[in-house]
Structure 1
């Protein structure tokens, strides 16, 4: 009896131990009680390209995290940023997940270059160098900013910045934009070199402070002695010399931020018809178009309002052929015209143009002896050539469109001149000049009709306007596209109409 009792107790204890062990074994197999282990990160592609990754650029790619006890993952983080994942893609020894979109300017840098997996059994971190691409610098906002002024480097991946050196000077304080497309700082007092260096976690970007001058336009290409002349552009600073039609300009003033250079015009008889050339410490720039075009220059001339082949006057109802002797009010400190010119007074009897009304301004003959564009240049891009004329607006002008058309193009393609409109805005301001100034309208500005004349698509070839020979007659029309009367009349003088090469 004693032996039987012993055996019964032995088998009963063994049964209890077996039952107790069963749940524990099952739990261990599911990986829910042991912490996760990460051994590598691999490319999520077919073998043999599923290589082990030690680093990556964050661009939303899929990867495979390999290790142990990964099936019960509740959170997966790259550089501290949570990734969304599908639990069906989790296994004990692997987890397929997409790297999340990361804004590196906002992350906790203490978590940079770490992969962290949290499961129901714990959490673990793994060193994985995930970051942005190498930085790049595209442009500098203002190389001529004064010490203490705000300056911006524009580029890409300008985040996680460790060091910034501008012009050889270390910049201790700087701020990256949210997406790393700009880096702001204050202009230092000293820039002994032209080198810019940005060092980030991802690499180094090098650039040179380059302020090669650019000329956009000239206030008046036919100035008389003493007229104030402005040459507009970018980086017109540290100017060493100016040549105006071959004559050296030794006395000039640089505008703020290099936006212009101004000076008094020399005697028009002292220089030839030629380009403007400006030399700065950063480079040289010359215009393609010429100044002093009234001085025996007949190339591309369409109308000079002088008696002869290029008369250009159409004897319209609101046109008047005259000169400074009769209308001195059109001359001013910004430009004088001592020749004949055309005065447009639209309309004389009623100083404002009614809604939908227009005034036709005929302009001379076709000037077939002087083409807009030489036949050899008909295939040039339209942006390479421009309609150029001198204008003086003696009374404020606000409202109404002066549009230009050729006989061939008709109203299919026209160019609009509306200087009372502020570019890139809905703001308008009455326009008036202080004497004569030059207008340049690229032939690419001749556009088709969408809602109104000239507000559609640019011409694709010069022959759309001028035909195969480059010679065609042209006219102007003052048009009110609105339904109500414009605010002012149009009282202006025009001279020296021609087509010029600008590129």
Structure 2
């Protein structure tokens, strides 16, 4: 019995030592000293949508890396870019991690499409196609650039480019912007087609060189014979024909940057659109020009006496005109409704019809004066009241023969809530014209008031009926307002004609 007891006492320390070593053995078994293994990458969503991923576009999404020996991860890289992770989300057979934001123009491309996990036991790499989406082309900076000029394609995902062909010529030297939104190159000497091909690691985009003329705006849409008219837009090079209000213009000059065409207006007899044709196609305005006729072509007031006009000449009212619609003018200083032309005419435009003018004095801070009241008329057809406000515009011919510096021309309708502030001198330069010009005010430019920024400086108009009422019919008020604390530097001497609303898109 003593012998057996001695053996037991001898073995007891050995047994306790083995028991003490068991946690360490278990830890080694769990993989801290074994290299990691990756078997798949899955979506981090509930089953059954936790599908295996073979590719992805990095958008900050969460994924689950599955495999073995992952719990002791010290670094996880996607395309060589380290990801931040929480060790609490690491398990022996899985690691939950967020894909990092990756700027593909800055990465080591030898590590592209790889997922690497490093643990205390080693590291492993796994093929995972993580990259930008397929390329997209939006446009080109200058279709008409000369050979050797710097130009750029605009688009998205213009990165990791493998092949680039412009107009049938392979471009071997090019540069992508950091985020792949531009692709810069030198215009080739020869273009045999209009095809553009860009192939990246993510795919290929095919596009054509587009240069259909675009008419953005016109200096004077209602010119008299002999007026200078300028049409502004894009892709106005190589003009083959120009039609203005149904009349062919045979003599014109295209600017060097191909962004404007100038001509001297002939005698016009009818309303019609503007059309410019080049070898790339024809661009036509969705609205008519030369629109002097009351209640036609969107005209809501043309000052020719068809509508009601009341002009207060210091208490000597000339009376009311006949017809419906019209204006009621209240001007503090000199004001009128007349056909004199010497003060307002110039090289950009003349006016031999009747028009309204205002001539107001310097405005003190925070005050307003002058005013033209447009009686109620149909601004937008009922069928178009659900259109986006940016599809329609308020247009008018104006002439400002002397410097206008300070204050705004405010325009508001009879429906309260929105206002447009025209403040051309706000840029710091006094404003004036060289005769009659056309101004275009998209209805989307009318804005609500803001409690901090002020009247007409809040949210933009989103529904036409909020400006014109449920039937698209309203009156309006045009007046001058000084929003500054100091007085304006000048008064306001301006003439108005052919106020109209037209569809511009």
TM-score bracket, normalised by the shorter chain, equals: 0.7 to 0.9
1:440 to 2:440 alignment: yes
CA offsets 1:339-373 (integer angstroms, 9 cap, x no match): 333332212xxxx2211222222457x3x7x6444
1:281 to 2:279 alignment: yes
Partners of 2:75 and 2:88 in 1: how far apart? 14
Matching residue of 1:360: 370
Matching residue of 1:250: 250
The alignment's C-alpha RMSD in Å is 3.4
Of residues 141-150 and 387-396 in structure 1, the stretch that sits farther from structure 2 once superposed is: 141-150
Matching residue of 1:11: none
Aligned ranges 1:142-161 → 2 under 5 Å: 142-161=142-161
Partners of 2:372 and 2:99 in 1: how far apart? 68
Indicate how the Cα distance of structure 1 residues 75 and 328 shifts in structure 2: closer, same or farther if over 3 A, else same.
same
Partners of 1:381 and 1:56 in 2: how far apart? 36
Indicate how the Cα distance of structure 1 residues 397 and 198 shifts in structure 2: closer, same or farther if over 3 A, else same.
same
Match of 1:305 among 303, 306, 317: 303
- Aligned positions, number: 468
Matching residue of 1:61: 62
Q: CA deviation at 1:283?
A: 2.7
Paired residue secondary structure (1:403): strand
Matching residue of 2:169: 169
Match of 1:294 among 289, 292, 303: 292
Paired residue secondary structure (2:110): helix
Paired residue secondary structure (1:420): helix
Paired residue secondary structure (2:225): coil
Q: Is the 8 A contact 1:273 1:297 kept in 2?
A: no
Matching residue of 1:77: 77
Q: CA deviation at 1:289?
A: 2.5
Matching residue of 1:178: 178
Q: Is the 8 A contact 1:319 1:361 kept in 2?
A: no
Aligned ranges 1:90-169 → 2 under 5 Å: 90-92=90-92, 94-169=94-169
Indicate how the Cα distance of structure 1 residues 340 and 73 shifts in structure 2: closer, same or farther if over 3 A, else same.
closer
Paired residue secondary structure (2:151): strand
Q: Is the 8 A contact 2:294 2:301 kept in 1?
A: no
Q: Is the 8 A contact 1:413 1:447 kept in 2?
A: yes
Matching residue of 1:209: 209
Match of 2:408 among 401, 406, 420: 401
Paired residue secondary structure (2:240): strand
Q: CA deviation at 1:456?
A: 3.3
1:482 to 2:484 alignment: yes
TM-score w.r.t. the length of structure 1 is: 0.81
Partners of 1:46 and 1:444 in 2: how far apart? 44
Partners of 1:372 and 1:120 in 2: how far apart? 74
Partners of 2:31 and 2:470 in 1: how far apart? 82
Q: Is the 8 A contact 1:243 1:278 kept in 2?
A: yes
Partners of 2:39 and 2:70 in 1: how far apart? 11
Q: CA deviation at 1:147?
A: 3.1
Q: CA deviation at 1:376?
A: 5.8
Q: Is the 8 A contact 2:331 2:360 kept in 1?
A: no
Partners of 2:98 and 2:353 in 1: how far apart? 75
Partners of 2:91 and 2:473 in 1: how far apart? 78
1:337 to 2:351 alignment: yes
1:218 to 2:218 alignment: yes
Matching residue of 2:236: 236
Structure 1: gaps (5+ residues): 1-14, 422-426
Q: CA deviation at 1:485?
A: 0.7
Match of 1:321 among 329, 332, 337: 337
Partners of 2:88 and 2:354 in 1: how far apart? 86
Q: Is the 8 A contact 2:229 2:265 kept in 1?
A: yes
Q: Is the 8 A contact 1:235 1:257 kept in 2?
A: no
TM-score w.r.t. the length of structure 2 is: 0.81
Matching residue of 2:398: 391
Partners of 2:184 and 2:348 in 1: how far apart? 38
Paired residue secondary structure (1:328): coil
Q: Is the 8 A contact 2:365 2:483 kept in 1?
A: yes
Of residues 106-115 and 430-439 in structure 1, the stretch that sits farther from structure 2 once superposed is: 106-115
Partners of 2:454 and 2:127 in 1: how far apart? 63
Paired residue secondary structure (1:110): helix
Structure 2: gaps (5+ residues): 1-13, 310-326
Q: CA deviation at 1:227?
A: 1.7
Matching residue of 1:265: 265
Q: Is the 8 A contact 1:33 1:121 kept in 2?
A: yes
